[in-house]
Structure 1
Amino acid sequence: LAPYTVRVTVSKEYPTEGSGVADKREEEEEEKGVARARAEAEQREAEKKVQEDEEVETKAVGTSPDGRFLKFDIEIGRGSFKTVYKGLDTETTVEVAWCELQDRKLSRSERQRFKEEAGMLKGLQHPNIVRFYDSWELPSKGRKCIVLVTELMTSGTLKTYLKRFKVMKIKVLRSWCRQILKGLHFLHTRAPPIIHRDLKCDNIFITGPTGSVKIGDLGLATLKRSSFAKSVIGTPEFMAPEMYEEKYDESVDVYAFGMCMLEMATSEYPYSECQNPAQIYRRVTSGVKPGSFDKVAIPEVKEIIEGCIRQNKDERYAIKDLLNHAFFQEETGVRVELAEEDDGEMIAIKLWLRIEDVKKLKGKYKDNEAIEFSFDLHRDVPEDVAQEMVESGYVCEGDHKTMAKAIRDRVSLICRKREQRQQVRAEQEKRKQEEEQKQLSSESLKNVPSSQGSAQSQCGSQPPTPGLAQPECEEPDVDHQLHYMQSGMTCKC
C-alpha cells in the first residue's frame, strides 16, 4: 500500500485595519489611566499639603494677654528692627499683623512713655493711617520683646511699587501724595500733635482693594528714639537738619514728605550719590539738595518739593498749605492761579480762573484761556466774587461753590506765604539787632575805666569832704537800644 501523504496547510493571518485601531485605542486608554492615576495622586498630595498648611495656620503659637489676638507661625515680613507674623483678631475674625520688635533695653521712664504713646495711638482712626490695635511686652527666650498688633497690609509699600514699575504716573503721584498729606494733617491736629519722625516710602502702605495709601509704623519711632538714645532715630536720607539737634516739631514730617515725593517723582533714593551717613549729614546740614532733585521733570512738582525740604523749618510749607495747593486739589475742573508774582505788598491781587471743562466755558473763552479778575485782600469775599462772576455769565451757577472754594484756598495760601515771609524777615532783623547790640555792648565795655583811680579822676581831683555823701559819677548818655519799625499787613482771608 502506498503511504498516505498528509499535507498540513498553515494559514497565515495578517492583521486587519480594524484590529490595529483597537490595539491603539487600548494603549491610549492605558496611558490615560496611568495619567489619571498620577493626577489623582498629585491631587491627594496637594490636598494633604493644603490641609497641613491650614492646620499650621489655624494653630496659634501666641496669644495676647487679653486673649483677643492670636499669632500664627507664618512670617510675612522681616527687617533690622522687627519681624512680622500673620495674626488674627478673634473679635472681628479679621487678619492682623503681629509685629515683634527685637529686644531693646528700655529704662523705666522710656517704657512708661511708650505705653502712654501706644495708648494714644490705639484711639487713632483715619482712612490714611494704618490702624494700631494693641501693644504689650512679651517674654521671649528669657528676654522681653515688645509686640505691636496693627492692621494687616498685604499689597506692599510705595517702595515696592517703585521697584516694580519704575515710573509713577503723575495722576497716581498726585492722588497718593494728597492721601499722605491728609494722614499727616490728622496726626498733626491731635492734642498734643503726633509727629511720625520716620516717614519714608518704606512705611507708606498700599491697600489692595481700593489702591489707597496709609501711613504706618507709627509706634516704631518712639522705640527707636528710646533705644538709640542720642544717635540717629530716623532714616538719614529723610531726616530734617534740626532732628540731629533733637529740637524739632511737626515740620520734620513735612521735610520727610518732600523727600518721599522726590523719590516718587524720580524713582531714585534721595542722596543715593552719598557713600555713607556722614556724607548725607554734611549735605543735609549744609543745605545741599539731593542729586535727584534736578531730575524732577515737572516744574510744579519740583516747586513743591523745594518748599518742603528747605533747611530753615520756618520757611517750609505747612501741611495745610500743601493741601490747599493747586496741584493737590481734587479734580473739580476749576483752578485759580496767581496772574503775576506776588510781591507781598499789593492789597489788590490779580488772579486767573481756569475752567478745564470745555462745556462750562459757554463758548466765551477758549479752553486754553483764563478769566482774569482782581481780588482785594482786605475787602473782597470769595463767595461774593464767585457770585458776581456767575451773574456776569462767566461761569455756571452750579460751579459757584466750587469756584468760591478755589478762590478762598488760593487767597489763604497767598496770605500764609506772606505771613511766613514776614516772620522770616522779623527773625532775621531780630538776629541782626542782637548782633549789633552785642557789638555796642562790647565797645562800651572797652571804654569803662579799668581802675578805681582812673574812675576818680573822671569824677574830679578834689578830695572828698568828711561826713558828706559824694555824688556819683554821671554815666555817659548812650542809647544802646535800637528801634525797628516794620510795616505789617493783615490779610482778611
Structure 2
Amino acid sequence: MDPVEAEEQQTEPPDEEEEAYAEADPTGRFIRYDEIVGSGSVKTVYKAFDKLEGDEVAWSQTRIDDSVMGSSRKMALLNTEIQLLKKLRHKNIQKLFASWIDEDKKTVNIITEFCISGSLRQYRKKHKKVGINAMKRWAMQILTGLEHLHSQEPAVIHRDLKCDNIFINGNDGTVKIGDFGLATILQQQKTKSVKGTLEFMAPELFTGDYNELADIYSFGMCMLEMMTCEYPYSECQGQAHIYRKISQGIKPAVLSKVEDAGLRSFIDVCLAPVAERPTASQLLKHSFLQKDGPILVPPISVSLVSSVTKDGRQSASFVLLKGDFRLKGDMHVTDHIVLSLRFPDPSGCFKNAEFPFDLAQDTSLSVAQEFVEDFELPQGNILIIAQLIEAFLLILVPEWVPSVAVGQVVSESAHNYIAKRIKNCRQLRTAIPESSASPKLSVI
C-alpha cells in the first residue's frame, strides 16, 4: 500500500468495536463503515469515522484501471490533482482531509467531510416543493465556491459539475461543491468515460480547448435540474444523440418547463456560447439573484500565500481579491514594489500582468488609468484596480495615505497577521462596516 497523503498518527491496538468496522486507513485515523452513501460506475462512497476529531466523514474508493497504475505520468497527474484539492479551504468547497492509493485493491481512497443530506440531486428528489428563494440561496453558494476555485492560480476547473457532485447539509442549507472529476482523470479519454455526465458538459470540452467558463455551463444545467427535478436531454435516445445536440448548441427540452422568466433568462446566460458566457463573479451580480435586494458591492478579501522562487527562496505574498480581479504582491518588499494583477479582458478570458509601483511618485489612480489604457479595458475597471492597489499598500505600509476610498476589506485567511494589520490600520478599520466589530475571518 503506497500512501499518497495520510497523516501519520500513533494508533492504539484495535478494540472489539473497531474490529467490527470494514476497513481502516494506513494510519488508523479513519475507520470505514459498510454503509454506502453513494456509488457510481467506478466509485463507491462509504460513511466513515475520524477518530482524531470524533467526526463522521465520507470515504470514497475509486477503482484504478491498469493503464493508470502502469503509467507514472498518470499517477503523477493524479497525485498533483489530489494535493491541489487538499489545499482548498472554503465554506462552499467540500474539505479533503486525506488520501492514499491501495495498490493491492487498485483503488484511490479519499476522505472528505460528510454532508448529512447527501447530494443536491438526492435532496431535491426527496423535497419536491422548493421555493425560488431557496434556489437562489443554493445558486449563490455554488457560484461563490466556483468563484474561489476559478480565482486560484492557475484556475481550478471542476470539469464534472452536476447535482450529484454538489452536497448539502439540510439542517442549515449549506451547499458544498465536491467530487472534482477524479474519476475522469483516472480513465482513458473515451466516450464511455463521460457517460452519465455528458448532459452537463460544455461544447468546448469536446475539443479540449476550454477554460473555467466550462464550469459555468455545467452550473446552468445544474440550475435546470434543481428547478425541474429532471436530467437535461432526457428526451434524447442515447449518448450520441445528446452529443449531437450539445455540439449544435441545441438546449435541452426541459428548459421549456421553467416558467419563471427570471430563472429561465439566468439559465440561458449560463448556457451561452463561451465568448458570451459570464464568470462566476459576474453571475453573482445578475439581476435574478439580486432583484429582491440591493446589489451588493463585493468586499476586498485578503489572504497570504507562500511560494518558492526559481532560486529556491521562500516567498510570502499578500493576495487581494475583488470580483474577477486579483492582485498579488510580496509582503516584505517596500523599496521596489512589483504587483501582479489577474484580470478579465474584453473577450472574457483572464490575463496576468506585472507592473511596478513607485511609492514616491505613483498614485493608485494614475497606475490604474495607465493599466486600463494599455490593455483596452472598460473605464469602470479603473476604480477596482485602484482600490486593490490602495488596500495592498495600506496593509504593507499602514501609514500610507490612500487617494481613493478602499471600501470593505475582510480577511479570508487563517493568519491572524492579516487581521491584526487590518485592525491596526485606521483607514482599513473605517472601511469595515460598523456592524462588524472585527474583520470577518474564515479559513482558506
**TM-score w.r.t. structure 2 length?**
0.61
Distance change (3 Å), C-alpha of 1:223 and 1:263:
closer
Alpha-carbon contact 1:263-1:270 (below 8 Å) kept = yes
The code of the aligned residue for 1:110 comes to: K
Residue 242 of structure 1 aligns to a residue whose secondary structure is: helix
What does residue 447 of structure 1 align with?
none
The code of the aligned residue for 2:378 comes to: T
**Out of 206, 210, 226, which is 2:186 matched to?**
226
The code of the aligned residue for 1:227 comes to: Q
Residue 243 of structure 2 aligns to a residue whose secondary structure is: helix
What does residue 91 of structure 1 align with?
52
1:275 aligned onto 2:237: yes
What does residue 274 of structure 2 align with?
313
Highest Rg: 1 or 2?
1
**Out of 95, 108, 114, which is 2:72 matched to?**
108
Greater strand share, structure number: 2
What does residue 199 of structure 1 align with?
161
Deviation at 1:324, TM superposition (A): 1.4
Residue 334 of structure 1 aligns to a residue whose secondary structure is: coil
Deviation at 1:166, TM superposition (A): 2.9
Q: CA–CA distance in 2 between the matches of 1:232 and 1:197? A: 16
What does residue 98 of structure 2 align with?
134
1:492 aligned onto 2:400: no
Q: CA–CA distance in 2 between the matches of 1:268 and 1:136? A: 36
Distance change (3 Å), C-alpha of 1:64 and 1:335:
closer
Q: CA–CA distance in 2 between the matches of 1:417 and 1:295? A: 34
Deviation at 1:251, TM superposition (A): 0.9
What does residue 62 of structure 1 align with?
23
Residue 214 of structure 1 aligns to a residue whose secondary structure is: strand
Q: CA–CA distance in 1 between the matches of 2:135 and 2:169? A: 15
What does residue 119 of structure 2 align with?
157
What does residue 470 of structure 1 align with?
none
Residue 60 of structure 1 aligns to a residue whose secondary structure is: coil
What does residue 110 of structure 2 align with?
148
Q: CA–CA distance in 2 between the matches of 1:268 and 1:307? A: 20
1:76 aligned onto 2:28: no
Greater helix share, structure number: 1
Q: CA–CA distance in 2 between the matches of 1:418 and 1:250? A: 14
Alpha-carbon contact 1:134-1:148 (below 8 Å) kept = yes
5 Å matches for 1:46-445? 59-105=20-66, 106=68, 107-140=71-104, 143-218=105-180, 221-231=181-191, 233-234=193-194, 235-310=197-272, 312-329=273-290, 333-334=293-294, 419-420=346-347
Distance change (3 Å), C-alpha of 1:57 and 1:293:
farther
Unaligned runs of 5+ in 1: 1-53, 337-407, 410-415, 424-487
Q: CA–CA distance in 1 between the matches of 2:78 and 2:187? A: 11
The code of the aligned residue for 1:246 comes to: G
Deviation at 1:56, TM superposition (A): 5.9
Deviation at 1:164, TM superposition (A): 2.3
Q: How many equivalent pairs are there?
A: 292
Alpha-carbon contact 2:42-2:63 (below 8 Å) kept = yes
**C-alpha distance after superposition, 1:133-191 (max 9, x if no partner):** 11111144xx4211111111221222122222334310000000000000111111112
Q: CA–CA distance in 2 between the matches of 1:68 and 1:123? A: 19
**C-alpha distance after superposition, 1:307-326 (max 9, x if no partner):** 1112x311111111101113
**C-alpha distance after superposition, 1:406-452 (max 9, x if no partner):** xx99xxxxxx999459x9xxxxxxxxxxxxxxxxxxxxxxxxxxxxx
The code of the aligned residue for 2:214 comes to: V
Deviation at 1:59, TM superposition (A): 3.0
Residue 235 of structure 2 aligns to a residue whose secondary structure is: coil
Q: CA–CA distance in 1 between the matches of 2:377 and 2:38? A: 54
What does residue 332 of structure 2 align with?
none
Q: CA–CA distance in 1 between the matches of 2:18 and 2:28? A: 17
Distance change (3 Å), C-alpha of 1:293 and 1:330:
closer
Distance change (3 Å), C-alpha of 1:418 and 1:134:
closer
Q: CA–CA distance in 1 between the matches of 2:136 and 2:126? A: 19
Q: CA–CA distance in 1 between the matches of 2:114 and 2:48? A: 9
Alpha-carbon contact 2:56-2:114 (below 8 Å) kept = yes
Distance change (3 Å), C-alpha of 1:204 and 1:154:
same
Q: CA–CA distance in 2 between the matches of 1:286 and 1:246? A: 17
Quote the RMSD (CA, aligned, Å): 2.8
Deviation at 1:97, TM superposition (A): 1.2
Alpha-carbon contact 1:58-1:72 (below 8 Å) kept = no
Alpha-carbon contact 2:78-2:185 (below 8 Å) kept = no
Percent identity reads 40
The code of the aligned residue for 2:182 comes to: T
Deviation at 1:278, TM superposition (A): 0.4
